[in-house]
């Protein structure tokens, strides 16, 4: 999927540089859509989905307040 | 506003955009130097960050070629936001080292590439905000780049350099990934030759 992304990007840049506005913008939008698709594919995990459980924190509500907190 | 003011403002605006594109081109060149000289293969999200940087360059090249418009600025901004989203997600993905996940490549000034990309994306968004807040005027927008021949030549050369960088990246991606998913284990096409 990366090759079509860079191919459309190169086409967009080259045609913009040569002055073909409509083709350039069409290629750039195609490149952006392909990039968004690949990004979602890359970050999706079969186990976690789009979540990131390794950075989630959970308050231990049952624990007694620490001395530092009780002084505050 | 005097008659000379729109021309001056337009010159500053085009010069500012050219400077932005040169900085992005320098970042992309540094990334490619680290890849080819340092032997650090880019991951798929790293390559998407390069795509986003090229997309911002597209907005600037389009401004030089077709005039300063909301559409060209908007396209550049869209890719700056895309860069921010991808780099923040990658930073969060690798922020907690665990098997199969750690920052790829060497750190530059103690900061790894995805974190640098967060800073670069923020810098680009700030740069665009300054452009829109300070340098944007209807009279200045009406002045085309061809009115400044030296700046136009520099912009054309910088644009050609960015197109060349993108072409090298395309060849590199073909060699690294083939037509399949990208991996950082090696250049797939070169491995298949051995």
ipTM for this model? 0.89
For B160, name the nearest residue in chain A, comparing CA atoms only: A17
Q: How many domains does chain A have?
A: 1
Q: Tell whether A71 is covered by a domain.
A: no
Task: Say yes or no: A12 contacts chain B, CB-CB below 8 A.
Answer: yes
* Domain hosting residue A18, numbered range: 2-52
For residues B103 and A50, which has the higher predicted lDDT (pLDDT)?
A50
Q: Do B70 and B59 form a contact (C-beta atoms < 8 A)?
A: no
Q: Tell whether A6 is covered by a domain.
A: yes
pTM of the complete model: 0.89
In the predicted model, residues of chain A with pLDDT beneath 70 are 60-72
For A35-44, B103-112, B124-133, B178-187, which range has the lowest pLDDT when averaged over its residues?
B178-187
Closest C-alpha among B135, B126, B132, B150 to residue B8:
B135
Q: Do B105 and B40 form a contact (C-beta atoms < 8 A)?
A: yes
pLDDT digits (tens, 9 = 90+) for B116-139: 999 999 999 999 999 999 988 888
Residues of B whose CB is below 8 A from A17:
61, 65, 156, 159-160, 163
Q: Specify the 3-state DSSP secondary structure of B182.
A: coil
Is the model's pLDDT at B185 over the cut of 80?
Answer: no
Burial class (CB in 10 A: 0-12, 13-18, 19+), A38: buried
Structure tokens, B73: 């600025």
Q: Tell whether A68 is covered by a domain.
A: no
pLDDT digits (tens, 9 = 90+) for B10-69: 999 999 999 999 999 999 999 999 999 988 889 899 999 999 999 999 999 999 999 889
Q: Tell whether A67 is covered by a domain.
A: no
- Per the CB < 8 Å rule, is B45 touching A39? yes
Q: Do B72 and B143 form a contact (C-beta atoms < 8 A)?
A: no
Under an 8 Å CB criterion, which residues of B touch A? 44-45, 47-48, 51-52, 54-55, 57-58, 61-62, 65-66, 71, 75, 78-79, 82, 85-86, 89, 92-93, 95-96, 98, 156, 159-160, 162-163, 166-167, 169-170, 173-174, 177-179, 181-182
Domains within chain B, CATH numbers bracketed: 4-161 (1.20.1550)
Burial class (CB in 10 A: 0-12, 13-18, 19+), B12: middle
Instruction: Choose among B44, B51, B95: nearest Cβ to A42.
Output: B44
CA distance A72 to chain B (A): 30
């Amino acid at each position: 999927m990366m090759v079509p992304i860079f191919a459309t990007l190169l086409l967009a840049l080259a045609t913009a540089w040569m002055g073909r506005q409509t083709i350039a913008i069409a290629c750039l939008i195609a490149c952006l859509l392909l990039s968004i698709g690949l990004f979602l594919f890359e970050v999706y995990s079969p186990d976690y989905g789009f979540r990131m459980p390794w950075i989630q924190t959970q308050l231990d509500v049952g624990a007694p307040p620490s001395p530092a907190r009780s002084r505050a | 506003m005097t008659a000379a003011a729109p021309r001056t403002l337009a010159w500053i605006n085009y010069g500012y955009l050219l400077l932005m594109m040169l900085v992005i081109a320098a970042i992309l060149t540094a990334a490619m130097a680290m890849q080819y000289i340092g032997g650090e293969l880019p991951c798929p999200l790293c390559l998407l960050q390069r795509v986003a940087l090229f997309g911002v360059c597209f907005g600037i090249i389009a401004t030089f070629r077709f005039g300063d418009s909301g559409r060209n600025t908007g396209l550049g901004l869209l890719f700056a936001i895309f860069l921010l989203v991808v780099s923040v997600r990658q930073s969060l993905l690798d922020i907690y080292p665990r098997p199969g996940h750690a920052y790829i490549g060497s750190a530059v000034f103690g900061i790894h590439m995805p974190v640098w990309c967060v800073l670069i994306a923020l810098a680009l968004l700030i740069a665009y905000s300054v452009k829109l807040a300070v340098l944007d005027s209807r009279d200045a927008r009406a002045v085309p780049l061809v009115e400044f021949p030296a700046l136009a030549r520099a912009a054309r050369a910088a644009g050609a350099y960015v197109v060349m960088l993108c072409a090298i990246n395309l060849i590199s991606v073909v060699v690294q990934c083939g037509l399949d998913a990208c991996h950082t284990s090696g250049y797939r096409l070169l491995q298949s030759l051995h």
